[in-house]
Structures are given as C-alpha cells and as structure tokens.
Amino acid sequence: MTTSNSLVYLIALPLLGATILLLAGRRADKWGHILGTLMSASSFGVGLYQLSQMLGRSNEARPVTQKLFEWISVGTFNVDAGLLLDQLSICFVLLITGVGTLIHIYSISYMSHDHDRRRFFAYLNLFIAAMLLLVLGNSYLNLYVGWEGVGLASYLLIGFWNQKPAYATASKKAFVMNRIGDMGLSFAIMIAFATIGTVSFEGIKEHAHHTSTGALTAIGIMLLVAATGKSAQFPLQAWLGDAMAGPTPVSALIHAATMVIAGVYLITRSNFIFDAAPTAQLLVVIVGAITLLFGALIGTAKDDIKKALAASTMSQIGYMILGAGLGPVGYAFAIMHLLTHGFFKAGMFLGAGSVMHGMNDEVNMRKYGALRKFMPITFVTFGLGYLAILGVPPFAGFYSKDMIIETAFNSGGTKGIILGVVTLLGAGITAFYMTRVMILTFTGKSRWDAEAHPHESPILMWLPMAILAVGSVSSGFLLSRGDALVNWLAPLFEQHGEHEELLAPIVVSGLALAMVAIGVVVAFLKYSRQEVAAVAPENVSVFTKIARQDLMQDSFNEAVFMRPGQLLTSALVKTDEHVIDGAVRGVAQLALGSGSVLRGVQSGFVRSYAALILIGAALLIAAIWVVI
Amino acid sequence: MDAANYLYLSALLFTIGAVGVVVRRNAIVVFMCIELMLNAANLAFVTFSRINGDLNGQVVAFFTMVVAACEVVVGLAIIVTIYRSRRSASVDDASLLKR
Amino acid sequence: MVDLAISVGTTQNPEAILFWVLAPLTVAAALGMLLVKKAVHSAILMASVMINLAIFYIAQNALFLGIVQIVVYTGAVMMLFLFILMLVGVDSSDSLTETITGLRPIAIVASVGFGGLLISLIGRATLGRSAVGLSEANMNGNVKGLASLLFSTYVWPFEVVSALLITAALGAMVLAHHQRIQTRPTQREMSTARFRGESLANAAGLPGPGVYARHNAVDVPALLPDGTPAANSINATLKARGDMLTSGSFELGKVDTSAEEEK
C-alpha cells in the first residue's frame, strides 16, 4: 500500500472545470468547451501518470491511497475522506477520463449550435469528477457521495433540453428510479455500520470472515438493489430507455460507457461480501441473466436508434453483472467486458449521434437507409463496433463476451447450463438486433424525409469515433493477451483454485459464433431481402407489440408501484384531513364549545363573582362539616 | 357567660357582610360590608385570644386592622377614580371585563 | 353550661348582660346596613356596629384593640367613607331591586348555608381543655403585653405592614391625582372671559343659590326678578350629579303651598 498526494488531482481538475464554467456564466461561453475538454484531458493525463507509476511497483505495493481529511469522527466510528487507487479503479479511471475526453472533443462539434454548450460542458466535467470520486472512494460512504453525484449529473444532462416537457419528465423518471437504488446503497451502508462497525472497503474486507452470513447477505442484496438502480438492471431498468432524451454524447458517456457500469464496479468492489454471501451472489446472477434477455428482447423491437442501443447497453450490462455474480473467476471477465463495451458502445453511440447530426436529428431508423455512401467514416466506425459487440474474432467483444459465456457454462451443475444457454441466447438475439440496426441504417434503399441532406460529420466528431473504433478492434486482444487483465486484477480477488470445465473454450466459441451467425442470417432475411416500411407496421404479433412497449415495464411499474402509491398517498391525505386534523379541530371545537358555555358564567359583574366565592366558601364549610 | 357566644356573633356578622357584598350595588356599601366581614374576623381573633389566654390573637387582629385601613384607602381611591370617569358608584356599571 | 365545648371558668354576669343587650343591637345594625337604601344610613349603622364591637373587645380584656377600633375605624375609616360619600353624592340612593337574575336567591341560600354550617361547626367544636382567660397574659397591662409581642416576635411583620401603609398612601395619591387635560386659565384669561365675553350678564359674578325663603340650600336654584329659576346659580358639580332640585315648584304664580321637601 502506497500513499500519494496526486490522486486528488484526478477529481479536482474536472471539478474545478465544472465550478469555473458554472460560476463564470455567459462570460465563459467562448472558451468554456475548451476548458472543459482540457480539464478532462489533464485528468486523463494524471490517470496515465498513475498507471505508469503503478506498473513500476510490485503487486502488493500497487494500491495507492490518499487521505484528504477526517470526515466523520463519532466515538469509535471514523470515516476519512480518502481515496484509493488500485488495480481495479485504475481501469475505471482510464476508461472514464479517456472515453470522457474523447466525448468532450466530440461534443465541441456536436453541441456547437447549442447556445448552452458551456453549461453542457460544466455538467460533463461535474459528471467526470463525481464518477471519479465514485471509483476512487476508499469507503462505501465516499463512494456514496460520488454515486449521488453521478445521479445528479445524469439528471441534469438527461434533462439538458428541459424546455421539452417529455425530456424533463425523462430526467425526473431517471432520478426517481435511481433514488430507489440509492436507498439500497444507504441501507447497505447502515447495515454494514450496524453489524461490522466500519464502512471502509479495507475494514469490511478484514472483518468479512467473522461476520454472520445473514448480515453479509443483507448487505449484498442491498448493494444489488443499488446496482440495479444505477446500472438499469431488472427490476429498476425502466429509466434507461427514456434517458436517451439527453444529448447523444451524454448517452454515449453516461448511459453507455461509464455511469451505468457503476453497478458492476460496486459488485466487483464488494467481492469480499458477495464471496461470503452465496445467496446474494446467486441473486446477482439471476438479475444479470434476466436483464440480459430483457434488454436484448427490447432491442429487437425498437425503431429509435438510440433506444435500440440503450436496450443493447442494458443487455450488455446484464452480461457484466452476470459475470460479476459468478464469483472470483467472473470478476475479471466482467471488468474486461466492461472496458471493451465502453469502447464499442460509446463508439456506436457517437456513430448514432453522427447519423442524427447528418439527418436533422431524426432518430427513427425506418427513415434512414443507404447512409453507407454518404457517411463512410461513420459506417466504418459503427461497423467495427458492430463486429465487436457481436463477438466476431478478433474484435473486442469476442474475447470478453466469450469469456463470460464460458464462465457461465463452467459455473457448475444445472445453474451453469441454464446460464450458459441464456448467455448464448442473448448473444444470438444481440446479433439479430444489431444487424437490424446496421441494415436499417446503412444499407438498403433510402427512406429519408424530403428535407434530409445526409453528410459526413466534421473531424472533431469522427476522430473520437475512429479512436474508439480502434479500441473496439484491439482492446479485447490486448487485454486478454497472456491473461493481462486477469493477472493484473488477480491480487484483489480471492482465488478458489481450479474449476472443472464443462465445455472446452473452443466449443463455447463455436457455439457462440453459431448463435451469432443465426442471428445475423435471420436479420438479413427479414430486413435485407424484404422492403422495410418507413412507418412501423401496425399488424404485428402481440410479442412485437409488447417488446415495443419495453416489455410492459412502465405499465408494470405504474400498476404495481405507482397506482398503489397514489392510493396510499391519497389515503394518507384523507387520514390527515379527517382523522388527525379532525382530532385537532375537535379539540379546538371542544375548547370553543365549552368556552361558549362557560362564557355565560363570566358576566363581568363583580357581584356574581362574589356570589360564586360565597357558594364556594359554603361548599368548603359543608365539606369540613361532613369530614369532621 | 359562654365565650363561644362571641364566636356565634362573629359568624353571624361575617355572613351578613358576605350577603351584603353580593347583594348591594353601591360600591361604598360593598366596601362597608367587606369591613364588616373583617371586623367579624377580628372579633373571632379576640375571642380566641381570650380562650387561649394568649395575646397573639390580638396582635393578628391589630394587623388586620392596619391592612383593612390600607385596603379602604386604596379601594376608596379606586371608587373615586371610577366615579370620575363613569359618573356612577355602582359596581354593576364597572362590568367592562365582559366586553 | 358545663356541657358546652368552650366555656370560660368564671361566669361574669355583667358581661352576660352586656352581651345579650349589645349583640342583638349589633346584628340588627348590621342587617339594617344591608337593607337601608341610602349609603349614608348604611355608614351610620356601620359605625354603630363598630362601636359595639369595640365594647366587646374591651369586655374581653382587649383594651388596646377596643380603643384602636374606635380611633381607627369609627374615627378614621368611617370618616373616609363619609367623605367619599359626600364626593360621590350623599343623596344618591340605591334601588334595592335586583338586576342580575337569580343572584339574590342564590346569595341568600348560600349565605344561610354558610352561616348555618359555620355556627353548627362552632357548636360541635371541642377544645379538649378549659378556657384560660387573659388575666395572666394581661398581668403587666394589655398594652405592654401587646407591645412586647409586637416588637419582638412580630417585628418583621410590623415593618412590612408599615411599608404596606406607605404604599397604600402613595397608591391613593396616584389614583386621586387628576391629570389636567387643558392648561389652567390664567387670571387674565378669566377676566377677559368675564368682561369681553358674549354678554356682561355675569360680569358681577354668578348668582348665589337658594335665596328662596324656605330653601336656602345649595341645591335650590335662585329666582330671577321675573320669577324664573336661575339655572347657573347651582354649582356645576351638583348639576352634573343630578342633585339639583327641579325648580318648577318655585316659580312665581305657581307656588304650591303644600309643597314639601321633594327628596
């Protein structure tokens, strides 16, 4: 364990950028985007410096800590505001600042016509700072601050164009659903404090061995709730699709590459809890598996390109959560998939943004078509991302997703077979809907609106896409070469020796590729051979209809949570009005009534008061007479 | 002669005074009735003093007289003030507390 | 009367006679105070009650208190009462009809209950020993006995009571103090008003009241040469108080020989 004084700059630089941009106001309009980008880039520089330092040390000395100040000190409960940069968080730091910087650059051009571009960059910087605090915090409490910070930044950015009521509603929806997850995190912290007495990662890791499984399971489940909220996992997944209301760079950065993977980070970071709580771990796997299929199914029916990608994100994070739930063998693969996904999904989102940029902000894929000729760079970068997500060798997804499928199969018993089949199925469906996106957008005949004049995006936009495309191609290979990432992360996780192999890796790869091929072929038959209608056909099967409605997730939430909640609220209001207010008013009425009765006694005549005294004296004497 | 007779007299006078306070409306008469009640109490004190062979009762009666004198002085001044503003010495007219 | 709870060893017949003569008088005077209409009559009856009480005090070997009773009550306090009565209106009389509904029966029932119970309580009370009498306590004289108590045991209450007296005197002064609401007219102003006013009718001074043969009291208006009563011959205070007689019966030509005092 090493200490360092430079960790804080990782967070401080983008935070400074956000502060300056927010406080300077319109004066910063001219140079705000450059400052924001520079701050993000310099944070990335600090991250690279930290990585180089870390590489030069032995495994044990690699984690770096920095104590900022003593935050809470109550009795035996001490929480320092401290930072921890270890092999796990450096991955996230580089992903966040790296992809973040690329998206900053992209946004300079993408948002150039928006007169609030400075504010946009301020929020982006704020997000980077909060996300870095999330992954750098050395305790759950510090993590919680960052966790709320990214929630805030996400809310502000989804509702960036809040002049449109639908967008403002979407941001509120995301915020509220995230709050449910955040409550889980706060409960987890409280349980940890109550049972273990500390909330720092290190402290809990030390005490996890002699803490009751029940408490650990409770903490684990609460952490899972938190993760489902932030990472849009079942059952708190409904907000992600609507979050696409935000500008496309936001979707790429927050709702694809970084913030939504916070749940994966949380579970991976809490490996010592989940390893000791098999029930919670099993729940993690189940949640991951459900979401994986759920997102993929939604993706097949979406005509909005961003919503299709959002569904895909949900599904891919399902893979990561599933991987993280598989225990020590899965953590590293989850992280690897997370990193590769960060590249290819961000690249594809930026590609989608580029397409929208050229098509007058049209998001309906049925009105695209044949864009390949007009946007060659976008087509190529998007295509590389497409190949990566499909898992075609040697692109990134092949290494990361295959590993998760393989681990799922090898997790043992019936569970392994079910998970393996689910992940394979997911891979097939992913291939189907991603191929659909490709075909609808870039090939076939044009189905544009009359006023559309598609054109390639400027260099500031395609350069980040190109860099991300390079990442989509190479990251998987680089990270898995000689098990680089697995070995890099190994010191953090407890190893459990060897595990039996149900299927040989080559078999799994073959199966996965076969599923992908089936998906691609089906999509080709359905969308390339036939004419695609510019307007979504209405006479479709009931399954399609349900899928178009996000598998009824909103209706479900509305029926199960919102309506009873409203009923409860109105019942409480009634109770308040009639029972509580009634009691209060009743007391007042009682006082008033008795007052108006007793007022008769207060005639104001001294003599009647004297008469009362006389009566009282007579009664007193009578009492004495009786007693004596 | 039984000293208790004085006590009966005292009780009787006190009761008459009390009735007077309630029944009469003229503030000055009301005050006189209060004086009567105080005097009745004094008579009882003096009688008890005699029964107990102890002068303490007489001392208390003495104090009662002084306090009664104070009360009369202030009370009559109040009556004059009220009379000056209301042109009436009836206690019923000074019933502003009701309103 | 050995059976009675409280009895004095030596029965003094003169005292018994005194009591049985004066006690009914006292009660009658007290009741009369309650029942007469005029406040002045009440005051006189009150004075008689107090003198009777003074006699009772002296009869009970409380010489000092008896004297003080006469000096303070019948002398000072009753003087004060009469003085105030004069200020407020010596002739004003109460109407004895009750204005507050049900107050009188309530008062009578309550007081009969109170008095009856009190008297029966005294009758039931037992001392447990024979009465002592004051002959021993008054050995050095009643005044000396009282003084030695007053200036030793009761010196503190004595001082407090003196403070109370001073406070009461001050309070009475404050209450009686009349705030002048307009400036006092100077002699020049009064003179101007007299000679440069609307008329010179009053230049020689206001007419005096009560010049009529039978009624030379201040509450009877003077008669003008034409036989009409002069309203301004009556003091303004009496007019304001309503104690002025109607002068109709005094007007010339309408003299009613059978006119009696109207009060």
Q: Are A159 and A172 in contact (CB under 8 A)?
A: yes
CB C137 within 8 A of CB B54: yes
The pLDDT of residue C209: 74
The model's confidence at residue C93, banded by pLDDT at 50, 70 and 90, is low
CA distance C210 to chain B (A): 25
Size of interface A-C (CB pairs under 8 A): 35
pLDDT of amino acid C225: 73
Alpha helices in A526-580 (DSSP H): 542-548, 553-557, 563-574
Whether A618 has its CB under 8 Å from any CB of chain C: the answer is yes
Percent of chain A with pLDDT strictly greater than 90: 9
Highest mean pLDDT among A21-25, A270-274, A543-547, A614-618: A614-618
Task: Work out the end-to-end distance of chain A between its first and last CA atoms, rounded to an integer number of angstroms.
Answer: 91
Q: How many CB atoms lie within 10 A of CB A325?
A: 26
- Whether the per-residue pLDDT at A158 is higher than 60: the answer is yes
A608 is written with which tokens? 């009647």
Q: Which residues of B touch A602 (CB under 8 A)?
A: 97-98
Q: CA–CA separation, A35 vs A114, rounded Å?
A: 17
Instruction: Select the more confidently predicted residue: A547 or C24.
Output: C24
Task: Please tell me the distance from the alpha carbon of residue A587 to that of residue A564, in angstroms, as a whole number.
Answer: 33
3-state SS of chain C is: CCCCCCCCCCCCHHHHHHHHHHHHHHHHHHHHHHHCCEHHHHHHHHHHHHHHHHHHHHHCCCHHHHHHHHHHHHHHHHHHHHHHHHHHCCCCECCCCCCCCCHHHHHHHHHHHHHHHHHHHHHHCCCCCCCCCCCCCCCCCHHHHHHHHHCCCCHHHHHHHHHHHHHHHHHHHHHHCCCCCCCCCCHHHHHHHHHCCCCCCCCCCCCCCCCCCCCCCCCCCEECCCCCEEHHHCCHHHHHHCCCCCCHHHCCCCCCCCCCCCC
Q: Closest CB to C121: pick one of A605, A614, A621.
A: A621
The answer to whether the CB atoms of A602 and B95 lie below 8 A apart is: no
CB proximity A611 to C under 8 Å: yes
Average pLDDT of the residues in A399-405: 85
List the structure tokens of C23. 């006690």
Checking if the pLDDT of C1 tops 50, the result is no
Q: How far C167 CA sits from the closest chain B CA (Å)? A: 9
On the question of pLDDT at C29 being above 90, the answer is yes
Per-residue pLDDT, C246? 64
A575 touches chain B (CB under 8 A): no
Beta bridge partners of A67: A82
Cα separation values, A499 from A413, A422, C118, Å = 12, 21, 106
The stretch A391-416 carries a mean pLDDT of 83
Task: Check if B93 contacts C (Cβ < 8 Å).
Answer: no
Helices and strands, number each (H, E), in chain A:
26, 3
Q: Do C120 and A605 touch (CB under 8 A)?
A: no
Per DSSP, the three-state class of A304 is: strand
Stretch C116-145: mean pLDDT: 82
Residue A451 in contact with residue A315, Cβ under 8 Å?
no
A554-603 tens-digit pLDDT: 777 777 777 888 888 888 898 888 888 888 999 999 999 998 888 777 77
Chain C CB contacts of B42 under 8 Å are 53, 65, 69
In angstroms, what CA-CA distances link C189 with A507, C185, C196? 132, 6, 10
Torsion of CA C239, C245, C249, C251, to 10 degrees: -30
Q: According to the model, what pLDDT value does residue C3 have?
A: 38
Neighbors of chain A with 3 or more C-beta pairs under 8 Å: B, C
**Facing residue for C110 by CB, picked from A614, A624, A628:** A614
Q: With an 8 Å Cβ cutoff, are C117 and A611 in contact?
A: no
Asked if residues A344 and A385 have their Cβ atoms less than 8 Å apart, the reply is: yes
Q: Reading across the β-sheet that carries A77-85, which strands appear in turn?
A: A2-3, A64-74, A77-85
C235 CB near a chain B CB, below 8 Å?
no
- Residues in B closer than 8 angstroms to C46, CB to CB, are 32, 35-36
Q: How far is CA C246 from CA A191, A351, A490, C259, in A?
A: 100, 117, 125, 12
Distances (CA, A) of A462 to A117, A354, A437, C122: 19, 8, 19, 117
C-alpha pair distances (Å), A323 with each of A188, A328, A388:
22, 9, 18
Q: If you measure CA to CA, which chain C residue comes closest to B88?
A: C88
Q: Among candidates A75, A7, A77, which has minimal Cα distance to A47?
A: A7
Q: Do C81 and B72 count as a contact with CB atoms less than 8 A apart?
A: yes
Residue A50 pLDDT > 60: yes
- pLDDT for A512 equals 86
Task: State the average pLDDT over residues A140-157.
Answer: 90
Tokens of A412: 């043992």
Residue (of C247, C198, C241, C239) closest to C222 by Cα position: C247
User: For residues C221 and C257, which has the higher predicted lDDT (pLDDT)?
Assistant: C221
Angle of helix A305-325 relative to helix A396-409, nearest 10 degrees?
50
Chains that touch B (3 or more CB pairs under 8 A): A, C
The pLDDT value given to residue C9: 46
- Smallest CA–CA distance from B26 into chain A, residue: A607
- Both ends of chain C: CA-CA distance in Å? 52
| Residues in chain B closer than 8 A to C133 (CB atoms) | 50, 53
CA distance A604 to chain C (A): 11
How many angstroms from the chain centroid is the CA of residue A225? Answer: 12
Contact A42, A13 (CB under 8 A): yes
CA distance C126 to chain A (A): 11
Neighbours of chain C (3+ CB pairs under 8 A): A, B
| Partner C, chain A 548-607, Cβ-Cβ below 8 Å | 603, 605, 607
CB within 8 Å of chain C, chain A residues 447-476: none
Cβ separation of C33 and B9 shorter than 8 Å? no
Beta-bridge partner residues of A79: A72
DSSP assignment of B29-52 equals HHHHHHHHHHHHHHHHHHHHHHHH
Hey, is B90 helix, strand or coil? strand
pLDDT at res. C90: 61
Assign A83 to helix, strand or coil.
strand
Backbone angles phi, psi at A83, to 5 degrees: -115, 150
* CA pair distance A118, A550, nearest whole angstrom: 34
Answer positive or negative: Cα dihedral of C52, C54, C55, C57: positive
Task: For residue A605, give the nearest of B18, B19, B95 by CB distance.
Answer: B95
Dump pLDDT digits (tens) for A476-504: 888 887 777 888 887 877 765 556 666 77
Give the CA angle between residues A519, A524, A530 to the nearest 5°. 140
Whole-number Å distance between alpha carbons of C121 and A125:
95
Q: Is the bond preceding A249 in cis, omega lying within 30 degrees of 0?
A: no
C53 at interface of B, judged by CB pairs closer than 8 A: yes
pLDDT less than 50: residues of chain B: none
Q: Which amino acid is at B39?
A: N
Give the pLDDT confidence score for residue C263 in this predicted structure.
Answer: 45
B96 CB neighbour count, 10 Å cutoff: 8
Residue C241 to chain A, least CA–CA distance (Å): 24
**B97/A607 Cβ within 8 A:** no
When pLDDT is averaged across residues C110-138 and rounded to a whole number, the result is 83
Distance (Å) from the C-alpha of residue A618 to the closest C-alpha of chain B? 10
The distance between the two most distant Cα atoms of chain A, rounded to a whole number of Å, is 119
* Minimal CA separation from C121 to chain A, in Å: 6
Residue C170 has pLDDT above 50, yes or no: yes
Predicted model pTM: 0.61
In whole numbers, what is the pLDDT of chain A averaged over residues? 85
Q: What is the pLDDT of residue C7?
A: 45
**Joined tokens for residue A42:** 């310099």
Q: In B, residues 20-39, which contact C (CB 8 Å cutoff)?
A: 20, 22-26, 28-29, 31-33, 35-36, 39
Q: Distance (Å) from the C-alpha of residue C85 to the closest C-alpha of chain A?
A: 20
